[in-house]
Amino acid sequence: MTQPQVADAVDVSLRTYQNWEAGGGTSGENYERLGEVLGASYDYLMTGGDVMPPTADVLGRLDHLQASVDRILERLEAAEVEREILAAVQASGEGSSPPETGEGARSTRRAGGKRRS
């Protein structure tokens, strides 16, 4: 924001706002209004001891991180779908021809792969 914009938003003259920036005193009420306009706490304005709200740079990094998280979630969802499909295919294969067991299987093995009748 420009000085005239901040002065207007805080409802003081441009000269008053410029005096504040130059180190001139002001009331706590004005600092509170200034903090609301700038998105900073009273403590930060008075001492610099509080954390400023996120800047555009930080918000940009957060957007980038959110996009990365979204891509990871999409991959996880795709992997889950693949696991479900694989499980369904394996389950459908279990009901088709079961392997031979018992006497029939033994006679096939003894005959060299051909079943004796």
- Nearest Cα neighbor of 105 from 97, 50, 35 is 97
Q: Higher pLDDT residue, 47 or 63? A: 63
For residue 108, pLDDT over 90 is answered with no
pTM: 0.36
Q: Say if CB 17 and CB 7 are below 8 A apart.
A: yes
Eight-class DSSP state of 102: T
Where do the structural domains in the chain lie, given as residue ranges? 3-47, 54-94
